[in-house]
């Protein structure tokens, strides 16, 4: 492993390398699709289009400075460097495989390309998150390595001096003269200077690799609306905390981490020994016009979300095609909530019949208020004075264990008391 590269620097450099490799691969996949279409290989063309969509998702992930949505595993410093090496090697092999497929006249081996895309997706989800522990391990390794290098240089210098001294003692005057004569008769050193043509041949780059890929260029009005929307979400994410998980558990006592960029806002809750993300709420700019592309992208994204995880995802754009909106209003997935925000119309589009969508819509909307669980309890007391766990579950979206955890916390803080009345019932503590 290359300890000279600091882990944080290496991780960022590798992200940029992979981003460029994937963009180049995407452009070549487009050419490969044209090739299979001309060969009338409809099966290969269809498979390549699906791979193109998956690569589009990976490009989007590589644009983000943080790790993949449900990635970031723990590991020691050796595992970190090994994973980072694979993280760059895989897209390099992927690009080479696609270029080879373009160069040959034979049928395209879509399976080989798909296998590398699978490995690429795995590489994103298994990057190791840097912690204070393995950064400290890195610093200790550097200190040990430098000390060993100093000791090695000292030994080599000592051996060289001893060797020179021994040779000087054994050398005779006659040998000295012979050596001088041989040097004076030797021919001058030949230095080859490359011609301009040689330099051009060695550094030539294919025309298609030299064409830069333009980033989204937004006009002033759209940019202003985007920044305004991001600012609203930022304040909401910073001041408030999700209280109810997708499956009804109480999560207000867990750490809520907020990440911000010019075109995105993300909040996440991690749990367990390995700090695995259980909830991601993500909003970011994504300009897509093709309904097929967005459907395939979302399906690919949904396949990366594991059990006991949930993502609420919102793509932001200046406007969305009506056919995409119509499709989204019927889309539902048990672990992926999907939203579209239309900047021009100030409209949040989603399937409103999906319970989890209704639960998380607040985190994607410009609406800045919502009832907190304590306010729901206050309303229950005002309406009936006494309430039980079933009332809390009905009005809050909490499941039984979540409602019990929340109420028990208020009882411990002496905000509520259990008055019994044949079965557990609660009211405000006096």
Return mean pLDDT, the chain.
81
Instruction: Let me know: does 175 contact 33? Beta carbons within 8 Å.
Output: no
Residue 281 has pLDDT above 90, yes or no: yes
Structure tokens at 271: 């749990």
The residue that leads in pLDDT, 163 or 278, is 278
Residues 84-143: pLDDT tens digits? 898 999 999 999 999 998 888 777 888 889 888 888 887 887 778 777 787 888 888 778
The residue that leads in pLDDT, 13 or 429, is 13
User: How high is the pLDDT of residue 362?
Assistant: 94
The residue that leads in pLDDT, 399 or 71, is 399
Phi, psi (degrees; rounded to nearest 5) at 131: -120, 170
What mean pLDDT is predicted for residues 269-296? 83
The pLDDT > 70 percentage for the chain reads: 84
User: How high is the pLDDT of residue 4?
Assistant: 60
Residue 264 has pLDDT above 90, yes or no: no
Minimum mean pLDDT among 96-100, 243-247, 369-373, 402-406: which range? Answer: 369-373
Task: Give, as one character, the DSSP assignment of residue 364.
Answer: G
What mean pLDDT is predicted for residues 54-61? 88
**Close Cβ partners of 282 (under 8 Å, ≥ 6 residues apart):** 69, 264, 265, 266, 311, 312, 313, 314
Confidence of residue 353 (pLDDT cuts 50, 70, 90): very high
What mean pLDDT is predicted for residues 258-282? 83
CA distance 292 to 312: 21
What mean pLDDT is predicted for residues 157-177? 70
**Close Cβ partners of 261 (under 8 Å, ≥ 6 residues apart):** 64, 65, 284
Minimum mean pLDDT among 36-45, 55-64, 181-190, 218-227: which range? Answer: 181-190
Q: How crowded is residue 284: how many other Cβ atoms within 10 Å of its Cβ?
A: 17
User: How high is the pLDDT of residue 286?
Assistant: 85
Confidence of residue 180 (pLDDT cuts 50, 70, 90): very low
User: How high is the pLDDT of residue 189?
Assistant: 39
pTM of the predicted model, to two decimals? 0.59
Residues 290-327: pLDDT tens digits? 888 888 888 888 887 888 889 999 999 999 999 999 99
How far, in whole angstroms, is CA 272 from its chain's centroid? 20
Residue 237 has pLDDT above 90, yes or no: yes
How far, in whole angstroms, is CA 196 from its chain's centroid? 43
């Amino acid at each position: 492993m290359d300890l000279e590269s600091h882990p944080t620097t290496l991780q960022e450099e590798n992200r940029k390398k992979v981003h460029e490799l994937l963009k180049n691969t995407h452009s070549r996949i487009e050419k490969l699709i044209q090739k299979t279409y001309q060969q009338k290989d409809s099966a290969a063309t269809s498979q390549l289009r699906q791979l193109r969509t998956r690569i589009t998702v990976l490009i989007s992930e590589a644009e983000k400075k943080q790790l993949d949505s449900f990635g970031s595993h723990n590991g020691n410093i050796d595992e970190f460097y090994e994973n980072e090496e694979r993280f760059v090697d895989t897209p390099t092999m992927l690009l080479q495989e696609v270029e080879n497929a373009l160069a040959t006249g034979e049928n395209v081996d879509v399976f080989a390309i798909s296998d590398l895309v699978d490995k690429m997706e795995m590489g994103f989800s298994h990057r190791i998150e840097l912690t204070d522990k393995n950064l400290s391990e890195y610093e200790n390794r550097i200190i040990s390595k430098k000390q060993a290098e100093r000791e090695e240089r000292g030994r080599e210098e000592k051996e060289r001096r001893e060797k020179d001294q021994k040779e000087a003692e054994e050398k005779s005057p006659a040998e000295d003269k012979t050596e001088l004569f041989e040097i004076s008769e030797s021919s001058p050193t030949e230095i080859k200077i490359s011609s301009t043509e040689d330099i051009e041949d060695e550094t030539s780059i294919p025309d298609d690799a030299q064409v830069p890929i333009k980033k989204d260029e937004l006009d002033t009005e759209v940019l202003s609306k985007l920044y305004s929307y991001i600012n609203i979400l930022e304040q909401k994410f910073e001041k408030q905390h999700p209280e109810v998980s997708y499956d009804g558990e109480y999560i207000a006592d867990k750490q809520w981490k907020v990440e911000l960029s010019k075109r995105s806002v993300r909040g996440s809750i991690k749990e367990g020994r390995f700090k695995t993300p259980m909830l991601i709420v993500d909003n970011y700019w994504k300009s897509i016009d093709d309904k097929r592309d967005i459907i395939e992208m979302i399906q690919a994204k949904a396949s990366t979300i594991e059990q006991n995880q949930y993502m609420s995802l919102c793509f932001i754009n200046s406007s969305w095609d009506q056919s995409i909106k119509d499709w989204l209003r019927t889309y539902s997935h048990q672990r992926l909530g999907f939203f579209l925000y239309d900047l021009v119309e100030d409209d949040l589009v989603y399937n409103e019949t999906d319970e989890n969508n209704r639960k998380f819509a607040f985190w994607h909307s410009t609406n800045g208020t919502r009832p907190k669980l304590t306010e729901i309890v206050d309303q229950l007391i005002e309406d009936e004075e006494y309430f039980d766990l079933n009332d809390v579950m009905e009005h809050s979206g909490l499941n039984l264990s979540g409602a019990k955890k929340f109420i028990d916390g208020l009882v411990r803080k002496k905000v509520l008391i259990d008055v019994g009345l044949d079965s557990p019932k609660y009211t405000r503590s006096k």
